[in-house]
């Protein structure tokens, strides 16, 4: 994806001919052609945009996302035409009530576990000679997670409501194994007790949470471009204001 990231407090984003121009106090910080640009990401406060650049981005399908200092998206500017996919959204809502929801739920959870197992193997491979015990622990954790993924594949049910609890239990067990193994792969100089989400201030969790925030903005954009409802998920339960489908796909 072609992105332009604006992280300077007080920057101004405007349109100049067929280009987006970022200035501060009259000085040009950056220019980028609008052709081929996919995403404007604003990571700082005090940033202003012209009406011309907002209109141009909306017409070209260029997403404008605003993120907090911790990486959490708090606003997005998109063309209203992206939400006009009635048939697609109707099918998405109907899928929740039949076998398609089970297929999707298993794919989300199974895909997450497969990625976890693969990443552990990747992170451990260069420790085979120098830290054989660590190498074996990571490989063993990957095998355990793969087994949980196999058990997810064996789940059967008429709809997601019938299988959600099984999916979440297996996913939680796998997550415990994964984060424990990942903790051992972090360099010794970095103090990390384990995974924490909200309120985390340590280096590793802060970086992970910020990365998840960036990922969230990318996934939400993809969901909207596909004409889907980001709030109508499958594994993550429905709650007002909760982007369940985005959270499902992040997995």
Q: Is 165 helix (H, G, I), strand (E, B) or coil?
A: helix
User: Per this entry, what is the length of the chain?
Assistant: 251
DSSP result, 38-102: -EEEE-SSS-EE-HHHHHHHHHHT-EEEEE-TTS-EEEEE--GGGG--HHHHHHHHHHTTSHHHH
pLDDT in tens, 116-160: 999 999 988 888 878 888 889 999 999 999 999 999 999 999 999
CA distance 103 to 157: 10
Coil, strand or helix at 131 = coil
Per residue in 30-77, pLDDT (tens digit) is 999 999 898 899 988 899 999 999 999 988 888 899 988 777 788 888
Q: Are 187 and 123 in contact (CB under 8 A)?
A: no
Quick one: average pLDDT of 202-212? 87
1 pLDDT more than 70: no
pLDDT in the model for residue 221: 85
State residue 195's pLDDT score.
86
- Note the pLDDT of residue 184: 84
Mean pLDDT over each residue of the chain, to the nearest integer: 90
Domains and CATH numbers, the chain: 3-78 (3.100.10.20), 87-250 (1.20.120.920)
- Rounded to 10 deg, the angle between the 132-153 and 99-124 helix axes is 170
The residue ranking higher by pLDDT, 78 or 243, is 243
Q: What percent of the chain has pLDDT over 70?
A: 99
How far, in Å, are 41, 71, 96, 249 from residue 215 at the CA level? 12, 9, 25, 10
φ and ψ of 116, to 5 deg: -60, -45
What is the CB neighbour count within 10 angstroms for residue 26? 6
- Which pLDDT does position 101 carry in this prediction? 96
Q: Residue 68's pLDDT is what?
A: 83
Q: What is the reported pLDDT for 186?
A: 82
């Amino acid at each position: 994806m072609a992105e332009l990231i604006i992280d300077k407090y007080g920057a101004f984003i405007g349109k100049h001919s067929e280009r987006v121009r970022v200035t501060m106090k009259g000085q040009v910080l950056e220019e980028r052609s609008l052709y081929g640009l996919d995403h404007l990401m604003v990571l700082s406060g005090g940033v202003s945009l012209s009406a011309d650049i907002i209109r141009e981005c909306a017409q070209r399908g260029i997403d404008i996302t605003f993120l907090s200092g911790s990486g959490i998206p708090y606003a997005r500017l998109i063309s209203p035409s992206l939400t006009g996919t009635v048939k697609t959204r109707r099918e998405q809502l109907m899928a929740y009530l039949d076998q398609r929801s089970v297929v999707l739920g298993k794919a989300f959870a199974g895909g997450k576990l497969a990625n976890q197992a693969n990443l552990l193997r990747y992170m451990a491979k260069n420790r085979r000679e120098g830290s054989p015990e660590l190498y074996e622990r990571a490989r063993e954790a990957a095998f355990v997670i793969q087994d949980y993924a196999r058990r997810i594949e064996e789940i059967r049910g008429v709809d997601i409501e019938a299988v959600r609890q099984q999916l979440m239990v297996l996913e939680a067990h796998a997550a415990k194994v994964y984060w424990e193994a990942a903790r051992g792969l972090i360099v010794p100089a970095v103090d990390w007790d384990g995974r924490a989400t909200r309120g985390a201030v340590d280096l590793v969790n802060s970086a992970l949470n910020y990365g998840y925030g960036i990922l969230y903005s990318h996934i939400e954009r993809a969901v909207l471009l596909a004409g889907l409802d980001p709030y109508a998920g499958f594994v993550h339960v429905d709650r007002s204001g909760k982007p369940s489908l985005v959270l499902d796909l992040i997995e």
